[in-house]
Structure 1
Amino acid sequence: ERPVTDQLHQPDCRERPVTDGWIYFSSSLYYVSTEKKSWTESRNDCRKRGSDLVIINSREEQNFINVWRKDQWIWIGLSDGETEGVWKWVDGSELITGFWGARQPDDYGDEDCVLCGYESDPLKNWADYPCDQQLVWICEKRI
C-alpha cells in the first residue's frame, strides 16, 4: 500500500492571517501602511506592491477595514478627481454603496479623495478630503 506522504498538507492563506504585513480576508489580501502619504503617493505605494488602494464592496469589508485602521483616518481607493460629484473606485467602477458620514460628501474646499474613519459609526464614517493631506492607507490585492 502506498504511503500518503505524497499528499503533504499544504496550508492555505486562511491559516496564515498575516504574511509579510498582508492580512487575509474574504478572497483578498490587505496591507495597512505604517507611514502617512498623500492619496496619490499612497496609491503609488500600493501599485509598487502589486495592488491598489482598497475598494470596499460590502458591509463586512467596511467592518474589517474599521478594525485594521486602528482609530486612524485612512485613505481608501475612491475619488471624484475625474468628474466632480462622480465617485469612482481606483478600478474605474462607479460607487454604488457608500458608507458616508453625516452631511458627507460635502466638497468643502477642494476635496476629491475619500478617507475612512471620519466619525465613530463604523458604517457611516467616510468623508471627502483634500487629496494632498498625509494619511495612512490600506492596499488590497485580490487573490
Structure 2
Amino acid sequence: MFWVLLLSFIGTGAASNLPGYCTLYKGEIEILKRPPRKVEVNLGDTVSLVCAAHGNGMADPYVYWIKGLGPGFEEKGKHMGPVAVGKSTLFIEKVTEEDIDTYRCVVKDCCTNKKEEMDVDVLVPDETCKDVYGVGAVLYGATWEFKNWTAAVQACKDKGLQIAFPKNKDENAQLLHDIKASFITHPNAKKYAHENWVWIGGHDSHEEGQWKEIKTNELITWFNWEWSQPDNWTKGNQHQEGQDCIGIRRTNGKWDDSFIHHERPYVCECPDKKLKN
C-alpha cells in the first residue's frame, strides 16, 4: 500500500509530502540473514551470499553490496550491482583472483539513515608452505589474514608449524624474499597493500628489553631493527604496557616493536627449513 501511495504522491508532483511519511516511521532495522564473516573458496568456485533485513515499524531498508574495502584502512569501495529493498545477493559465478577481496553488505533506512554494515572476506586457502598460486617454493610461508600477535603464534601451531623468526642476516634475507614473493602473487595478499608489517616470533613481554624467540624462549642475539626502534611507544600512555612484539617490514626486512593487540598478517616457518645456496 505504501508504494502505491508513494507513486501517487510522485505522479501528482506532491514530493514535498514524502518527508511526512518518514516522520511516521521510527522503527528499527532487523537483520534477517547475516552473511558469514569469512568465506574460503577455490578459484573457479561459485559464491552466493544472501544479506536480508526487515524494517520493524518502518519500511524495509535498502540493501546493497560494495567491494574493495581492504582491511585496516578507510576506503568506500565499489558498488556491486543495483540497490535492492530488503534483500540482496552477492553472486559470483566463477571466482577469479580479482574476486578475492573484502565485501560489505550495507543495510540502510532511507528516512533515518540508520545503517548496519557487515563485512565478508572472500579468500582462497593460504597453502602456507606449498608451491601454489605462482608463489614458488618457500622456506617461510606468509598468511595474508589479520591476526593479533598471540593469535598469529597459535595459528602457525594450528598448521603444525612455528611462527617464523630469523636468527641471522641470511635467514632474514630469505624471509624477506619469501614474503615479497607471496605478496606479489598470492590472491589473498593484494588487499594488504596498505599494511607494511608482518608478525614474526620475537617478544619482550616478560621483561622489558629482554627480547626472546617464542619458539625456543632463548634470548635473541641478532637484531635488524628499523632506525629509532625499538621505542616501546605507549601512544601517550594509552597502552602503558608498551610494545612487546616484533613485526618485519615486508618492503625492506627491518624490524619494529609493536602492540600485541594489533592485527596483521603473519609468517610461519615451513617444515625442514634450510637456506638456499
What TM-score, normalized by structure 2, do the two folds share?
0.40
Secondary structure, aligned partner of 2:231: coil
> RCO greater where, 1 or 2, for CA within 8 Å and sep 6 or more?
1
CA distance in 1, matches of 2:228, 2:198: 19
Alignment partner for residue 171 of structure 2, among 58, 61, 65?
A: 61
Q: TM-score, normalised by structure 1?
A: 0.74
Q: Which runs of 4+ in 1 moved over 3 A?
A: none
- The corresponding residue for 1:88 is 212
Instruction: Output the CA distance in 1 between the equivalents of 2:265 and 2:211.
Output: 21
* Preserved CA contact (<8 Å) 1:78 1:87: yes
1:51 equivalent in alignment to 2:168: no
Aligned residue number for residue 267 of structure 2:
138
Per the alignment, do residues 42 and 121 of structure 1 end up closer, same or farther by CA in structure 2, a change over 3 Å counting? closer
The structure richer in strand per residue is: 2
The residue type equivalent to 2:246 in the other structure is V
Asked if the contact 2:152–2:266 (Cα under 8 Å) also holds between the matched residues in 1, the reply is yes
**Inter-CA distance 121–34: structure 2 relative to 1 (3 Å threshold):** closer
Identical aligned residues as a percent: 25
Q: Which runs of 5+ in 2 are unaligned?
A: 1-126, 131-136, 184-195, 235-241, 273-277
Structure 1 stretch displaced more, 56-65 or 72-81: 56-65
- Name the stretch that deviates more: 32-41 or 61-70: 61-70
Once superposed, what is the RMSD of the aligned Cα atoms? 1.9
Give the letter aligned to residue 224 of structure 2.
Answer: F
Work out which of the residue numbers 103, 106, 128 in structure 2 matches 1:21: 128
1:36 to 122, 143, 146: 146
Gaps of 5+ in 1: 1-19
Contact 1:50 1:141 in 2 (8 A): no
User: How far has the Cα of 1:141 moved from its partner?
Assistant: 3.9
Opposite residue 79 of structure 1, the aligned amino acid is: H
Structure showing greater radius of gyration is 2
Number of residue pairs the alignment of both structures matches: 118
